[in-house]
Amino acid sequence: MGTGVATSKIRILIVDDDAESLELLWQWLALQGHDLMMARSGREALEKIHGSPPDLILLDLKLPPPDGFEVARALKKDPATRTIPLIVMTVRRDVQSKVECLRIGVDDFVTKPFHWDELDATVQAALEKRRLYTALENANQQLQVANSQLMKLSVTDDRTRLYNDRYLRQRLSEEFKRSMRYGTALSIILLDLDHFKRVNDRYGHDCGDAVLRQFGEILVENAREIDIVGRYGGEEFLMVLPNTDGIKAAIVGERVRKATEEYLFPFQDQIVRVTTSAGISSVPTNRDVREEEQFLRAADEALYRAKEGGRNKVIVDRASMPSKILDGDLSPIFNASYEEEPPRRRREESAPDFTGEKG
């Protein structure tokens, strides 16, 4: 009598309409300590398998419809049941029946009348096959999870949990090529936290990291799902806005600027206030831009003018905006809606202020 994995309460479904065979199998397998189920027709078998999947199936070919061949086909076609070991029991000894079963995907055969040692060996071999398959499946799932985590780490900035500069450049390249090919609008916003060094000097780098993280959250809150937001380096951040012209990008930049100015950045028992400056460029409005570096340079130069102009400003690259807008009043742009306004954070009233210091 076989042992091995049989002592681990394996659930076996016996499918047979012959009462004598069913009783013999039930008594024999019960002695092995298995958890047993039975079905007397193909329909009953399928119902029980889908209701409570067994670990192994012993299936007679000659059954009230659907017969054993049809049941086997249904099980092997269904991803939920195809890996359950399936052993066919048959009085048929013809080659054609065996070939048909093998084509369906049956795992093994036992011939009636039973040789009990052969039955035990066949059951144990099928269960071992199932155990190995399950172990391999679990290992593959763990590998997929590990690969997914590794991929996420490879594109994520460790301080802010946003995209890192390498991934930003990759996505920017993809979106820039798409814009150049199809003439669709694309804007970028380059943002820099004003006087950020003073935050690190006064409160330490842990506080600085907390500010970076919370500023990243402000950016995400003010972006759409299709926008690409990440830390570009140091205290600089980049927003890549597909299907967005310079006017809409200006709305986003101003919304981020205002949200940052109003937000009180908590760290331990401290609350810090900072502001941000932003430079924006847009294609294809800026017809001088033909390469990604030119695109970034235009935004960087606009950011530089925002810094030189007193910080806490949003400056749009002049060539990235229609002249009729630049020559007119910008207030309608900033009062417009980029999309539905995101929920505002609750603010507090007092905090150390780095927004108005000189230098």
Q: Give the catalytic positions in this structure.
A: 235
Cβ partners under 8 Å of residue 238, min gap 6: 165, 168, 172, 188, 189, 190, 191, 229, 230, 231, 232
Cβ partners under 8 Å of residue 1, min gap 6: 31, 32, 116, 120
Alpha carbon dihedral 299, 302, 308, 310, in 10-degree steps, equals -100
